[in-house]
Amino acid sequence: MNGFLKYFYKRLLQIILTMFILITLLFFMFRVVPGDPLSMYIDSGLDEEATEVLLQQYGLDKPIPEQYIIYLKKVLRGDFGISFQYGKPAINVIGGRFWNTFILMIASLFIAFFTGIVGGVFLAWKRETLIDSLGTTIVLIVRSAPVFWTGMIFLSLFAFRLKILPLGGMNTPGTYFPNQLVKFFSIDFLRHLILPALTAGIHSAATPLLVMRTSILEVIKEDFVELARAKGIKENQILFKHVMRNALLPTVTVFAVQAGLAIGGIVLVETVFRWPGMGREIVLAVAARDYPVAQTAFFLIGTMTVIFNLIADILYAYIDPRVVWN
């Protein structure tokens, strides 16, 4: 247990350092880009006085180093500032969208890893047959296709031709929900979730699937499999009880990486399916130079990636008894 504590502290320190670098990068990244938050509102004809008041309000009238110090202090207190576009705390802007994205992401990761693991096992089982090569090819094609393209194909098929699923959005326009929870558990919501989750899901299913297939092919050659066969255990049982458990390890690592990558894809999926999530908000915030919102969103994504990595590490040790804490 001492080893675990030591490991834990080390990881904690690492996380703190990572977050600090992330926070700093986020600050400078947006300020290096030309353009400023008020340039978006040219057509509205804001006059000089109003512009000055706004800059002051945004804290952009101060020199960059001073802005950075203020920003650091605020972030430590969990304050990401007021959104330039929405005139309310950035965390509230993102907060509302975060859960929408989170649900979509969880749904799509579930699809990805479910089809990935099952499909990987299946293809490995059918190794070197026509099914295997056909399956691998299809998976590669799906992964290579841009996710927005797949989304549009799904839309035109299921929403336009067959008319069985909605065009986009999170619920049928004009539906009122007393609160978020009721919304997330409504049938209407789930119907809207299917296409975007499927699009993002099958797109990221390829990596776990291929990893799973490869690692099963490796494990299957091991002596203990031979031994199990010799003991007369059924093929099915060998596959699921012995081979799969051992082959899962690399897939868990992939999970962490994939979860981070999934966000990138989800930005596009959200745009195609009019999903009111964080991804669309990021695009808007960057275009409008709404630094607080963009920073908050990226901060959350970064934090999520870090947490997923941590989970993967812990899971890894849980699944593989050979891993020791140090």
Partner 1 sequence: MKSKYRMIIILMLLGLLTLSLSVFGEGNKSISLPEEAKVPQINYWITSQTYDPVRYEIGLMVAEKWKELGFDVKTTCLEWATMSSKGMKAHEHDVFMIQWGGKAERIDPFHWLYTLHHSSEAASGKYNVAGYENPEYDKLAEGFVTNTDLEKRREYAFKMQEILAHDVPQPPIVHRVVTHAYNKDDFENVVMAMGEGLNSFWNWINITPKGDRKILKYGYVGDIKLLNPLTTKTGADIYILNIIYDPLIRIDVNGKPQPWAAESYKQIDERTVEVVLRDNMKFHDGTPVTVDDVKYTFDLAKEVKAPYYSSKIKYLKEVKIVDNKTLRFVLVEPFAPFISNGLALVGILPKHIWEKQYIEKGAEGLLNWDNQPPIGSGPFKFGYWRPNEELKLVKNDEHFNPPKIEGLVRIPYAQAYGVVQGLKAKEIDGSGWSLLPLQIEEVKDARHLSLGRIDDQGYYMLHYNLRVAPFDDINIRRALTYAIPKKKIVQLIFEDLAVPAYSVVAPVNKFWHNPGIEKVGDNIEKAKSILEESGFRWDIDGHIYYPENY
* Residues making contact with partner 1 (CB under 8 A): 33-36, 38-51, 53-54, 57, 82, 85-89, 93, 96-97, 155, 159-160, 167-171, 173-174, 176, 270-272, 274, 276-277, 280-281, 284, 287-289
Give whichever of 44 and 144 is closer to partner 1, judged by the CB atom. Answer: 44
- Smallest distance, partner 1 to C-beta of residue 288, A: 7
302: left (phi over 0), alpha (psi -120 to 50) or beta: alpha
Give whichever of 111 and 155 is closer to partner 1, judged by the CB atom. Answer: 155
Give whichever of 43 and 128 is closer to partner 1, judged by the CB atom. Answer: 43
Helices and strands (H, E) in the chain, number of each type: 13, 0
Give whichever of 47 and 128 is closer to partner 1, judged by the CB atom. Answer: 47
- Smallest distance, partner 1 to C-beta of residue 4, A: 43
How many whole angstroms separate alpha carbon 276 and alpha carbon 82? 20
Is the CB of residue 15 less than 8 Å from the CB of residue 287? no
State the burial class of residue 326 (Cβ atoms within 10 Å of its Cβ: 0-12, 13-18, 19+).
exposed
- Smallest distance, partner 1 to C-beta of residue 88, A: 5
- Partners of 82 in the β-ladder: 89
Is the CB of residue 140 less than 8 Å from the CB of residue 206? yes
How many whole angstroms separate alpha carbon 318 and alpha carbon 296? 33
How is residue 64 written in tokens?
Answer: 């960059």
Give whichever of 214 and 271 is closer to partner 1, judged by the CB atom. Answer: 271
Give whichever of 260 and 276 is closer to partner 1, judged by the CB atom. Answer: 276
- Smallest distance, partner 1 to C-beta of residue 81, A: 10
The phi and psi torsions of 105 (rounded to 5 degrees) equal -65, -45
- Smallest distance, partner 1 to C-beta of residue 75, A: 18
Spatial CA neighbour of 295 closest among 19, 27, 74, 20? 27
- Smallest distance, partner 1 to C-beta of residue 85, A: 5
CA angle, corner 152, sides to 150 and 153, nearest 5? 65
